[in-house]
A and B are shown apart, each in its own frame.
Chain A
Amino acid sequence: MIGVAGLLLTAGLLLFVFSPARVFVGEEKTRVSYLRERKDAVYENLRDLNFEYKAGKLSDADYESLRNSLESEAAAILAEIEQLEAVESR
């Protein structure tokens, strides 16, 4: 009885492991996909900054300086994305 249970368990698991099936292959991570993630992160930082400013947590000077630096970062990312996409589309 125990032997039969062991055999059934082995057969079932091996059948599951080696039975043919469609293999899912994900996309390769590229520099562009990484930059898109960075862009999302910077946009989120900008959203947080705007919200904190509206909540009165930041002085005007702090807000301007932080917003400018985040926008510069976002612009640099967008520029590189455009550049890489242009190369890809050629």
Chain B
Amino acid sequence: MAELGSYSLLLALALSVYAFIAGILALVRKRAGSDVLGETARRAGIAVFGAVLVSSVVLVVATFQNNFSIAYILHHSNIDLPAPYKFAALWSGQEGSLLFWSFLLAGYGLVLRLRHKVDAQLVAYASVIISAVQVFFLLLNNFAANPFAMVQGTIPPDGNGLNPLLQYPEMVIHPPMLYLGYVGFTVPFAFALAALIMKYPGEKWIHITRRWTMVTWAFLGVGIFLGAHWAYYVLGWGGYWAWDPVENASFLPWLTGTAFLHSVMMQEKRGMLKIWNMWLIFSTFLLSIFGTFLTRSGIVSSVHAFAQSGIGPWFVTFLAITLAACTYFFIQNRAHLRSENRLESLVSRESSFLFNNLILLVACFTVLWGTLFPVLSEWVQGTKVTVGPPFFNKVMIPVALLLTLLTAVGPLLSWRKTSPDSIRRNLLLPTMFSVAVGVVVIVFGWIRPWTAQADFYSWMTLVLATLVLSTVLSEFYRGGMVIAKQTGRNIASSLYVLTRRNTRRYGGYIAHFGFAVVLIGFAGAAFNQDIERELKNGESMQIGSYTITCRTHTQDDNPNYSSVWAIMDISKDGKPVDVMYPERRFFKASQQASTMPAVLSTMREDLYLVYSGENQDSGNPIIKAHLNPLVKWIWTGAHILLLGTILAMVPSLATSKVPIRKTVLVEERQPVGAND
């Protein structure tokens, strides 16, 4: 079984190398037979998927067969591991997750090569670039992190099991989502580099890759939110984001990907920012690889781990080669990337995109610096300096507030230039409404922004998020009214038509709406409370308006783990509302413990209970209670964000032609693109 898996991986590598070399030869040598050679390269790329699929299936089947002669399965599975987690073992360790990377890349490559008729020449170049990336990962799979390596010596009767923290339903889908995001950025990167190499005339490559980029960005976003949700519901510390290096690794390409998704509109509409966009997508891909390297090499835990890691140098080499290739082709063909138009005014849609990009890059650099600083300090000084949440929050909160302001104002600005009169028309009502909301929360005493910086930031977040919500709603209302006036439809039907006629714009607005809702959720973190108490049966503790009474505590046992848990009666303002069961599990195979918090979630606040342990003398449970306001807004906002993103990917309905007034002296015009 393992032999078939290993052999398939070698076959996949051989096919990838062929797809790469034959693809290059077909593109470089313009002679008879080149087209046929190019076609075999394309098919070899497709065949890679078949070979990697066989390898992946072999590993999964071997896991279900409890084949502990394969070292990877011995280290990441055990006989009593539930079936979904046996399946998830494919991506729970280094070798498996790198095989999964190869599998997903082969899958993306398959789809790209099957859709080659969209622009055969461009796809041929992009296919070669994807093959190059595929070769790198298959080299890793075959020679540095082989998932089919055999156990030396005696084969144990049972495996070590899966990390307990990963034995949670979300962990079956969180890593694949992140990986679909990481890997997916290879496609827009390949198209961008292909367009640069072949000096592709025009921006059609952006149009071709737009959905690829959005799908990838959405996967990465879903992965990040699922990770936050998992951290909240499994790790038991009451939070959802800790600026952990691995979290940051996924956040970096998401930030640059967000910048790319926005600024690419300037290239499509105005032929501007071509160099900027090229480097944004290069950076996004490099950060995806860097994120995989950061997560998988162990470098963030210690530089010494990096020194011991077998794959660290591979990644560094690949990153260096990729950066060198991007730089070389950029220098060689940079004249091709000259802008066709210039920024005409600082108050325009273009400048708002530019500022949005700058803010996102500041955020990206901050996260990158904070993530790498401990590594660099250990390298330089020999001592590790920890960079914690205070550093990130100090920079990222003002950055997020600026970004929110731009999210509100940007869509209301015109392309080219916007007069003060137009700004007043669009912003007056939303601004008045958001300021009114800010005043109301002060008057009712919900937030006192002058008491502490955290309170001020929360108040600002609420006001600016409200500004985003109100500008989005006003955009829908204005557009809907135009359709209603033109067609005589009712407002609901008009809003549907409006959205279908420009899904990209209105999907984007819904995504902005979701982003604002998420931010309101973040603002609640300033008002978190917690309390920890040992509770006898029948004893209570108070947090906010909740009374938490310990009814009893008990134990349970199954083949995979044993657990202790408490039964807690919850009442709010004296009325019983729920029963909660915070739990602590001890996993037998891995000999590790994990907490399973109990959460009572409402739009107003979450009551979050953790079974911290027992008093050794009395045997009573020690319960930690957190009261976290507005957390549910984060998950709700994430759903809205995803809905908007999906909507933006749906093709728009065809619109009517626009009559052009023939009032222009054509003789005076220069050729398009010549006004640089």
Contacts and interface: CB of A to CB of B under 8 A. Distances in A.
B666 A79 contact: yes
Interface string A54-90: 1111110110011001011111111110000000000
Interface size class, chain B: 35 or more
Contact of A34 (B54, B202, B269, B655): B202
B11 A10 contact: yes
Contacts of B479: 51, 55
A55 B412 contact: no
A62 B51 contact: no
B658 A23 contact: no
B47 to A, nearest CB: 4
A34 B415 contact: no
A24 B658 contact: no
Nearest to A7: B7
A13 B52 CA distance: 12
Nearest to A61: B419
B39 interface: yes
Interface string B600-619: 00000000000000000000
B204 interface: yes
Given A71-B660, A80-B672, A23 B425 contact: no
A25 B119 CA distance: 9
Contacts of B421: 59, 61-62
Given A24-B120, A45-B269, A72 B664 contact: yes
B193 interface: no
A54 B414 CA distance: 14
Contacts of A10: 11
Interface size class, chain A: 35 or more
Contacts of A2: 1, 3-4
Given A26-B117, A57-B422, A62-B419, A9 B482 contact: no
B204 A55 contact: no
Interface in A19-67: 21, 23-26, 28-31, 33-35, 37-38, 41, 43-52, 54-59, 61-62, 65-66
B203 interface: yes
B660 A29 contact: no
Contacts of A16: 43, 46-47, 50
A55 B414 contact: no
A80 B425 contact: no
Given A16-B43, A24-B117, A72-B669, A58 B416 contact: no
A85 to B, nearest CB: 14
B657 A75 contact: no
A89 B38 CA distance: 32
B271 interface: yes
28 contacts: A6-B7, A6-B8, A9-B54, A13-B11, A17-B18, A17-B40, A25-B35, A33-B201, A33-B202, A34-B202, A37-B204, A38-B673, A46-B658, A46-B660, A47-B655, A48-B502, A50-B658, A51-B479, A51-B482, A55-B482, A57-B426, A58-B422, A59-B419, A62-B417, A62-B419, A76-B669, A80-B669, A80-B672
Q: Pick the 5 closest A-B CB pairs, nearest first.
A: A26-B120, A76-B669, A75-B664, A34-B202, A55-B478
Interface of B: 1, 3-4, 7-8, 11, 15, 18, 35-36, 38-40, 43-44, 46-47, 50-51, 54, 116-117, 119-121, 200-204, 268-269, 271, 412, 414-419, 421-422, 425-426, 478-479, 481-482, 502, 655-658, 660-664, 666, 669-673
